Amino acid sequence: MAFGIAADLARAECPRISPDIHQKPERIVIMKTLSSLTAALIGASLLATLPLAAIAKEPVVVETIVQEPVVVEAVLFSTYLNGGVGKDEEATMRRLAKEFPLRMTFSERKDGDFVADVPVIIFDASGNPVFELPKAGPMLYVMLPHGEYRVMARFKGLTESQNVTLSGKEGKDLSFHWKK
């Protein structure tokens, strides 16, 4: 699960592809069943190599012990985590949250049910798109440099927009909630 090494291996060798995930040319799936200790050690390696994933040309999908994919992918020089469906995947995302300066959640209705497949675009202070994901959620964490951004998210035909300033060591949490 060390992303820099995994990305190099994925390009050099043919990885095992999960039959449950539709393979796209730009997506690589690496599956391993690990003991808790091994998973913890590899998780520490993951945190140390996240900047390497930002420069990788191909995304890496890593499956957790319960074989639920968590996606780490480079998009316009931004690394992101997208997922959070199910308790195990949500727990994995929350454990890695502090490593990302911008964290977003997407929900709807009074009960706050999480939603997915939300198109998201992030613009810099000049109005240039710096990040775009056609299907985000229910949780999306993005690695961006310090600065001012406008985040737009769309669900069921309704667009929400929020401004955020990333500075210092503390990350920012944005919640997008649609009442319909």
Q: Please provide the DSSP assignment of 135-157 as one string.
A: EE-SEEEE---SEEEEEEEEETT
Q: Over the stretch 116-131, which tens digit does the pLDDT of each residue have?
A: 999 999 999 999 999 9
Rounded to an integer, what distance in angstroms lies between the CA atom of residue 159 and that of residue 106?
Answer: 12
Q: What angle do CA 28, 86, 152 make, to 5 degrees?
A: 75
pTM score, whole prediction: 0.60
Asked if residues 137 and 82 have their Cβ atoms less than 8 Å apart, the reply is yes
Q: What is the pLDDT of residue 23?
A: 36
CB within 8 A of 49, min separation 6: which ones? 2, 3, 4, 5
Domains in the chain: ranges and CATH: 1-72 (no CATH), 76-180 (2.60.40.10)
Q: How confident is the model at residue 46 (pLDDT cuts 50, 70, 90)?
A: low
Q: What is the pLDDT of residue 110?
A: 79
For the ranges 4-18, 34-48, 85-99, the maximum mean pLDDT occurs at: 85-99
